[in-house]
Amino acid sequence: MEIEIDLDDPTPVFTQLIEQIKSAVAVDLLAPGTPLPSIRQLANELEINSKTVAKAYKLLERDKIVHSKGYRGSFIREDAKNYCHLDLKKWTQEKLETCINELRNNGVTDSEIRVVFGNLMNSKL
């Protein structure tokens, strides 16, 4: 699983981390027992403060998504999926908004977007 942080997004970085990890658990990208990267490792990979990662992990533990085994690290709990309430409608809207904005920024008109979207929705992918 690859975590991406958008520093231009007004959503706090720790919240972006939490949402992405919960989403990955909800759609089985992170299985029960899967170890999370260490706080230091993830902070270095994402080029963010380690306290931000620590806060996200602490909140994920509070929300019963992960459990910490001290120096051995943090792991996805066996029952984590029960606590991941992924709002698919919101997630779908956010993904489509991002895609549509990118298309508009590259000169694609709304009518062209509608035609292609309609064709895709009517085809068997």
What gap in Å lies between CA 35 and CA 121, rounded to an integer?
Answer: 37
- The whole-number pLDDT of residue 1 equals 80
* Domains of the chain with bracketed CATH: 13-83 (1.10.10.10), 88-122 (no CATH)
pTM of the model: 0.69
**What number of residues does the chain have?**
125
Tally DSSP H helices, then E strands, for the chain: 5, 2
Residue 35 pLDDT level (bands cut at 50, 70, 90): very high
Tell the residue number behind the tokens 């792991």, with chain if given.
Answer: 75
- The whole-number pLDDT of residue 88 equals 66
